[in-house]
Structure 1
Amino acid sequence: MSRIRPHSAVARAGGLLIIGLALTACSSGTSQEQREYAVPERFCGTAVDRDGLAALLPPGKKLTTREKYLDDKKLTERCDIQVDGKLVVRTSREWWPKKESTDWFATGKTRNDLGHQADDGRFLYSDYEAFGKTENCQRTTGAYEYAMFTGIQAYSSEHRDSNAMKDLIIHFTEAVEQSSDCD
């Protein structure tokens, strides 16, 4: 029959407690990742609500943007925002027939139910996507009238906030209306 000496049981329990505390400290976020990049005021030439957009951006070292037009006539512009090479947010500005609604425009961009609307359906949004239609950004080409539509989609954020997305799409759409694209 083996006997446990009292001081060795206390030593073992103390050792286990120290190991447990060390593991807890490592997993409790004492070494959380941080955002090492600055959130700019403009993405691909368009002003954005920095604070609202910052909530959607993950921690990381480097933020890059890439602007691209999807056609020769520059009717569709996308701005991909990447953190450490991973797409995290995409903004879009697209010319579509003026007679169409934001709902029609968003149908081709998302498979999800947006669930919220503002300004009589001019803005549609969920907790991580938002779409809008400009009021004063129009152009005529031949017999066709176009209006600029806007979009913001967060791809890798765990942050979900429909009110923030509403504010973002309204601010972004107003900035697009004031841009040189609408002159």
Structure 2
Amino acid sequence: MPESRRSSRLGATDWVDAAFALLTAEDGGEHGVTISRLCTTLEVTKGSFYWHFRDLDALWEAMAVRWQEENRRRITDVDEFSEMPPDGRLIALSTMLIGKDHLTVERAIRSRARSNANIADTVRNIDAEIFQAVEAIVGQFGMDPGQARLLSGVLVYAGIGYIHGHEGLPTISPDDIQRAIPGLLSLTLAQPSTDPEPPASDSP
């Protein structure tokens, strides 16, 4: 197909798709996403890339937005498991977030966020939405709001830490999560309430 005809059919979405494919390829990773490799993959010239994006940073910004949409879809998928008990939904959400490709994308986008304010804003929004989803599930276990918020924070922070350190840490499997979540819940529920006691009434 002539390059001009192929270029006219490509949209920004095609470039983002190709970038994710390069990122998660065996020989990919963050530094594998280059304009030259993208153009080779899509069989077009660099002019086609610059028609859609001002530079590589702009492409990564679009990738971060797509990743936020993907995370929202995962949250919605878990929310639709209404017949599943809360601990099952929490395990399902956690399992979705430890897949190899998921970790690769997460780490790369967070790396780009260190030098790109727009990506950093998107990452903060992703984290806030994940936290809200976890807190909504944890709140169904009957613990007080303070405990629910504390446990949700621990789970989300642990997940972010695993994203950055998973290559040097023991691999976590879905079975590991299935065993660990009930234990964490039991420990939290056994702790005294973190909410302050209401003031004593002065009435006799």
State the TM-score, normalized to the length of structure 1: 0.27
* Greater strand share, structure number: 1
The structure richer in helix per residue is 2
Quick check: which has more Rg, 1 or 2? Answer: 1
